[in-house]
Chain A
């Protein structure tokens, strides 16, 4: 009974936390809007008696809401992908960045933005090169894929390879394209539009939904390969499905906001510390905490300085020290 009550509490917290942060964050920004004004503006389309200045609803619906929704989706995507990859690679240090997925996806998106123009959606290019990067890492690391050091080194190599390709794209890009590319690569939400949400949102949602459905299975997949086989699971097939879904979500996120590192590592870690390693809870809670975390991070990048800090830089600056603390604290015992 006690565990049931606790479970219910966690579920409500998980649903309400990002919604609360989202609502609260709508009031933050260069142009101050009070919470009651936010509430009024959101309610206005439903109640004709409420009158709200045009400028207010423009700021909230066209600037802040798409940006915050995108932050929510990206935070959820990166965190759920991270948690899933950590489970199937049996290693809590793994994330999309270490596996080379982020840089592959970033290269794909950049390639498409600079050279392929409007005809080729950057999401597709990001996905293709994301898959190529992870696939390459897995093929090179081969049988030793459970061996952390080989896997990480291969990831480093793959990241270096795609970074070089990315530099090549930058080298050939026109000064104008280079500027926007550079801005985007640092991890940026400031240009978020409804179009981004429409294009990348469904892909992120699809990836996250697939991974969430597979959440209990990931407990089993986190066992040693031979055990997984002996438990009657088609290891190869299910691993590939998880990798593809994680790549889809991450690539879609990268295609609209550049590389936002460390979220996929920090958030699942925090969730596991709070509620234990059972992926039935870790995966959905990573979605909610990850979404909330990125909204919060976005709030801070907009408010702590006179200028806006790109969110990718911010998450790295905050995430790395936090990760070092976690590493020291947990030592070798992983939650």
Chain B
């Protein structure tokens, strides 16, 4: 699904997010990067409908996001928060099953089909054996994966992930990013993630958006828009881009 933004304005006290125009193409992985407080998560929450926007701001395949309410929206878009925070120690399967809420009326219980989809989602992320395990026993990498499994059970074509790799060790970071890439390639999902690791953002994204203080500084294909002056502008840091075997590495410049 294609996501189009036009004149998005969102205010907090002391913060203003403004996106004049931006398009995310179908079946691509897009990253939103920028320093802390740039508005990455805010943008993601606006796009997912957690924060309410005025009509005619965001279009999903031509449908106005503001006209999509509750369950209808959740069947198109799933939002994966940064942390799995549950007060109650549910089983992994019960947690993943919650992704089915948009398909069930408030009075009904999940059906066999719902359970099957939840199991499939767990199998897809390679955690089929964890179904009966409990949430509190999971490592932070596993928790991230389980959150993604819940989003898969939601069967939405659009996935937003808020800093899916923060606090993960390199192995799990790559595991999660590989999974994200696979979801866009195999399942045709349109995926937007916020990231801090720029090298990973360059390697894994088809499209990248640089945000600073609520403003879009640059957006486009990573190879096309990336240069040292852009990085300096966004991060206030002198960074050298080093090419090695077709991969880009970022190194702090020694002055």
Interface residues of A (CB under 8 A from B): 87, 90-92, 213-217, 219-220, 222-224, 226-227, 229-234, 238, 241, 272, 276-278, 280, 333-335
In the complex, the answer to whether A229 meets B49 with C-beta atoms within 8 Å is: yes
Question: Which residues of chain B come closer than 8 Å to A238, judged between CB atoms?
Answer: 106
A87-B88, A222-B86 given; 11 more Cβ-contact pairs under 8 Å: A214-B106, A220-B98, A220-B101, A223-B86, A224-B81, A226-B79, A227-B81, A230-B79, A232-B102, A272-B88, A335-B89
Interface residues of B in 52-96 (CB under 8 A from A): 69-75, 77-79, 81, 85-91, 94
Judged by a CB distance under 8 angstroms, whether B109 is at the interface is yes
The listed residue (B71, B91, B101, B107) touching A278 by CB distance below 8 A is B91
A217 and B90 within 8 A (CB): no
A92 near B101: Cβ-Cβ < 8 Å = no
**Interface positions of B (Cβ within 8 A of A):** 45, 48-50, 69-75, 77-79, 81, 85-91, 94, 97-99, 101-102, 104, 106-110, 134, 136, 154
Contact partner of A216 among B50, B69, B110, B134, CB < 8 A?
B110
Task: Report if A277-B90 is in contact (Cβ < 8 Å); known contacts: A219-B98, A232-B70, A232-B73.
Answer: yes
A216-B108, A217-B101, A278-B94 as given contacts; A230 in contact with B89, CB under 8 Å = no
Inter-subunit contact B98/A230 (CB<8 Å): no
A275 vs B160: C-alpha distance in the bound complex, in angstroms?
34
Complex CA–CA separation, A220 to B134 (angstroms): 16
Expressed in whole angstroms, the Cα–Cα distance for A334 and B86 within the complex equals 10
Contacts of B71 in A (CB 8 A): 232-233
A234-B70 contact in complex given A217-B101, A217-B106, A220-B98, C-beta closer than 8 Å = yes
CA–CA, A334 to B135, complex, Å? Answer: 11
Give chain B residues whose Cβ lies under 8 Å from the Cβ of A231: 74, 98-99, 101-102, 154
- CB-based contact B50/A226 at 8 Å: yes
Residues of chain B within 8 A (CB-CB) of A217 are: 101, 106-107
Residues on the B chain within 8 Å of A92, using CB: 87-88
Residue of chain A at shortest CB distance from B150: A231
List 26 A-B residue pairs with CB atoms under 8 Å apart, sorted by A's residue number.
Answer: A90-B87, A213-B107, A214-B106, A214-B107, A215-B109, A216-B110, A217-B106, A219-B94, A219-B97, A219-B98, A220-B98, A226-B79, A227-B81, A230-B49, A230-B78, A231-B74, A231-B101, A232-B70, A232-B71, A232-B72, A232-B74, A233-B101, A238-B106, A277-B88, A278-B90, A278-B94
Kindly state the separation between the CA atoms of A229 and B81 in the bound complex, as whole angstroms.
Answer: 12
Interface pair B48/A91, CB less than 8 Å apart:
no
Residues of B contacting A213 in the complex (Cβ-Cβ under 8 angstroms): 107
Find the B residue at minimum CB distance from A232: B74
Chain A residues whose CB sits within 8 angstroms of the CB of B136 once the complex forms: 333
| Cα separation A22 to B166 with both chains bound (whole Å) | 55
Least CB distance from A267 to B in Å reads: 16
CB distance from B67 to the nearest CB of A (A): 15
Residues of B within 8 A of A215 (CB): 109
A234 to B105, CA, bound (A): 11
A219, B90: Cβ atoms closer than 8 Å: yes
The docked-state distance in angstroms from the alpha carbon of A75 to that of B139 is 39
Also in contact, A216 and B90, with CB within 8 A (given A226-B81, A232-B71): no
Within the complex, the shortest CB–CB distance from B9 to chain A, in Å, comes to 21
Closest chain B CB from A240 CB (angstroms): 12
Which 6 A-B pairs rank lowest in CB-CB distance, beginning with the nearest?
A232-B74, A232-B102, A277-B88, A230-B79, A232-B71, A213-B107
A222:B87 contact, CB within 8 angstroms: yes
Cβ-closest chain B residue relative to A279? B88
Residues of chain A within 8 A (CB-CB) of B81 are 224, 226-227, 230
